A and B are shown apart, each in its own frame.
Chain A
Amino acid sequence: MVPPTPPFPHPPGPFAGTDLACLRGERLLFRGLGFSLAPGGALVLTGPNGSGKSSLLRLLAGLLAPAEGELTWDGKPVAEDAEAQRARLLYLGHQEGLKPTLTVGEMLALHARLRGGRAAPAGLAAALDALGIGGLMDVPGRQLSAGQRRRVGLARLLVHPAPLWLLDEPTVGLDEAALAAFRAVAGGHRRAGGMIVAATHADLGLAGARELAPAEFAPDAAALEAVA
């Protein structure tokens, strides 16, 4: 069911963050947050809504600059080579970025080419099969259900391999079969040395994953006054 994961084009070095702080508008979501992720590791972000899980994921993806602290890959700051870092990661946000008028196959092929790869039809079909949506290749985006959209978003992770997956609530809207498929895919990715950071409220079945709650690093009112 799961396609053999090709070797990563980049060595999956340890990915770590130290003393990270995130500022959204006027509000400091967290500060002093640190983590370290070894090849094959998984990190699950937990906590109540609005505690900064999605912001932390966007920060890890490089879409958001940390207000303080730095991210390192294999000991080197990722800010030194942002393009190489973007090549190492795949991000699945709340929205899958699917177009109503493009077919699933076209969107996956575009994704592969956008990441500098070739889009072999066999590879695309294998990615869809792995998530149990092999029949959706020629279906336009507007006809997909919410669960199918999510599965297409997950299939994108397999089209062009990258060692670091950043997933924002990857299993929202998935049925039991899709959940099992996701677990198989995630397990295969980690066995190949890939890393996963996922924000979730559900049990993703990531064995041995460490938990991180951004809310624990939220500055309390007293600390904020001390800063001011």
Chain B
Amino acid sequence: MSAFIAVLARDLRLGLRHGSDLTMVVSFFVLAAVLFPFGVGPEPNLLARIAAGVVWVTALLAAMLSLDRLFQADYEDGSLDQLALSPAPLPVIVLAKAAAHWLTTGLPLIVVAPGLGLMLRLDPAGFAPLVLAMLVGTPCLSLFGAIGAALTLGARRGGALVALLVLPLVLPVLIFGVAAVEAEIGGLGGRPHLLILGALLAAALPLAPLAAAVALRHALESA
């Protein structure tokens, strides 16, 4: 537990002092979403129809942008060795890093998302399920992303590779995240979709750090 808090505090401090990663992720999210009204035209009904999907897809891509840095910097400067040699189990340390990643990328995306929804004329009934679905869904992105980031450690063009590996894994998050919003707007209730997202998170929380830890040990072997 002490190691979990230590790594979480370290990564948060690093993320906030660097700052540029966070700014990049949020500005990519906003810019990409802003492009859509230009691309498809300012017709309110059309925008309202695609709003939930646009917000989710751009959030997903924005989260992917920062994933390749999750372990890469630690791997390059040797601190990953020190983390892996801590007496604490490696999956606990991976979980702490994924949590810090979510707090510095996922959470800011959720804060900005309602504003983008407003711009895209999202139906008022859709805001609550959008924020809820993102609250449950974005931690899944960080957890699945940790697996991809660990697998591509040391590879050239790691960033593109992470996206290739992780995007298929997070497809269910995208599908149910958008469905929750659409169902609520359509009067069907978004609850079942939110529950499925919750189940995905419940499975990813213990399993993704285990898988990522195995991949990290493998990467350290060839370091």
Contacts and interface: CB of A to CB of B under 8 A. Distances in A.
Interface of A: 25, 58, 61-65, 83-84, 86-87, 89-91, 93-99, 101-102, 106, 110-111, 113-116
A98 B78 CA distance: 8
B85 A62 contact: yes
Interface residues of B, number: 29
Nearest to A117: B2
Given A63-B221, A106-B13, A114 B82 contact: yes
Contacts of B157: none
A60 B88 CA distance: 18
Max chain B C-beta neighbours (<10 A), residue from A25, A106, A113: A113
B81 interface: yes
17 contacts: A25-B222, A61-B81, A63-B84, A63-B223, A65-B221, A83-B87, A83-B89, A91-B82, A97-B77, A97-B78, A99-B77, A101-B14, A102-B17, A115-B87, A116-B2, A116-B86, A116-B88
A17 B12 CA distance: 40
B220 A114 contact: no
Nearest to A106: B13
Given A64-B221, A101-B18, A114 B88 contact: yes
Nearest to A98: B77
B82 to A, nearest CB: 5
B19 to A, nearest CB: 10
Most chain A Cβ neighbours within 10 Å, of B5, B77, B82: B82
